[in-house]
Amino acid sequence: MVEVFERSVVEGRRFDVVGIGNAIVDVITHADDGFLAENGLAKGAMTLIDAEQAEHLYGLMGAGIESSGGSAANTIAGLAALGGRGAFVGKVRNDQLGGIFRHDIGAMGVAFDSAAATEGPPTARCLVFVTPDAQRTMQTFLGVSAGLGPDDIDEEVIAQGAVTYLEGYLWDPPPAKAAFQKAARLAHKHGNMVALTLSDPFCVDRHRLDFLDLVEGHVDVLFANEAEISALYQTDDFDTALQQVAGHCQVAALTRSEKGAVIISGEEVHVIDAVPVAEVVDTTGAGDLFAAGFLFGLTQGRNLHDCGRLGAVCAAEVISHYGARPETDLTKLVAPVLG
């Protein structure tokens, strides 16, 4: 296997992974395809909306359940649930949703030391519409999270993370993009790795040239699903995208829903089967939890095959219920993989 990084790097750090992303509370409801069409919602995608649009859409949506979310935050929560040492950097307001976000990530065992903003917009929320096919359509009001900026990146924290994990969604608001760049630079300065998830195909479309540059020169571990990697290389053929990404970053983990995942690192390629699920209820967080399992394996010194299997087990858990954070004991679920 490829030596992804020295065990001594992980052992010398306080955190296995530091995640940086939007701090979001999800508001989850059922909807049918007709509702999505009537309201012009792009099925399966994440769309940014403003406060007014959020209020309007919330008025139209069904009764919901609230659950802490945020892509990188879900990943770090999953990593902690596996026993990994995680920290999260993100911005909430000192409001009730901010309190819920802070409680939930802390209760998972994640260090979350970012101070709550005492003024400005409220804590971010994502209106999640789950259709009968278990697909999720997300409309996100970033609120105060859009203000995440370079000043929120603490060099001490990044220095202490063997991996700094960044969500592509951060590329949308300019201050968050600057925070992203600062964090990636600091991670490498301290001999740590940088991991990135491409987040969403439309997000990739918005920032393709930047993301190509990131993958080429700034990212050690890349996570993407089939739609995202295809958007990055502007192809509709998975294998074409796979051939393109090979060699552009140290490790790429490409997820394909029920088709499983492909892990590629230099000459090494692993094709990992999806873990069967009795009933797929809500696919929200599938990619985030795959990344959680994968990064847990990586920082535990596991080979890439096992990292992929750990990701598949964690993704299977999160799609079997509503919400993007694990509900069952992940350590038990991954025990057969860890041996």
Nearer to a second copy, 64 or 301 (CB): 64
C-alpha–C-alpha distance, residues 249 and 4, integer Å: 11
- Mask of contacts with a second copy, 33-72, x by CB under 8 A? -------------------------xx-xxxxxxxx----
What x/- string results for residues 85 through 124 when contact with a second copy is judged by CB under 8 A?
----------xxx--x--xxx-xx-------------x--
Q: Which residue reads 């991996």 in tokens?
A: 163
Work out the end-to-end distance of the chain between its first and last CA atoms, rounded to an integer number of angstroms: 18
Q: What angle do CA 215, 217, 218 make, to 5 degrees?
A: 75
Choose between 66 and 268: whose C-beta lies nearer to a second copy.
Answer: 66
Residue 308 binds to a second copy (criterion: CB under 8 A): no
Among the candidate windows 7-15, 152-160, 291-299, 322-330, which touches a second copy by CB under 8 A?
A: 322-330
The answer to whether 14 touches 160, Cβ cutoff 8 Å, is yes
Query: Are the C-beta atoms of 36 and 131 separated by less than 8 Å?
Result: yes
Question: What's the min distance (Å) between Cβ of 144 and a second copy?
Answer: 13
Give 30 or 256: the residue with its C-beta nearer to a second copy: 30
The bridge status of strand 136-141 relative to strand 268-272 is: unpaired
Q: Smaller CB distance to a second copy: residue 90 or 168?
A: 90
**How wide is the angle at C-alpha 276 spanned by C-alphas 330 and 24, nearest 5°?**
50
- CA-nearest of 313, 279, 294 to 133 is 279
Residues binding a second copy: number (CB under 8 A): 27
CB of 70 to a second copy, least distance (A): 13
* Alpha-carbon gap, residue 167 to 303, rounded angstroms: 24
Q: Rule CB under 8 A: is residue 82 a binding residue for a second copy?
A: no
* Distance (Å, whole) CA 195 – CA 134: 28
Question: Are the C-beta atoms of residues 20 and 72 closer than 8 Å to each other?
Answer: yes
Q: Which is nearer to a second copy, 25 or 227 (CB)?
A: 25
From the list 211, 213, 214, the residue with the least C-alpha distance to 187 is: 214
Given the rule CB under 8 A, which of 182-190, 258-266, 267-275, 319-327 is the region that contacts a second copy? 319-327
136 scored as a contact of a second copy (CB under 8 A): no
Tell me which residues touch a second copy (CB under 8 A): 27, 30, 58-59, 61-68, 77, 95-97, 100, 103-105, 107-108, 122, 322-323, 325, 327
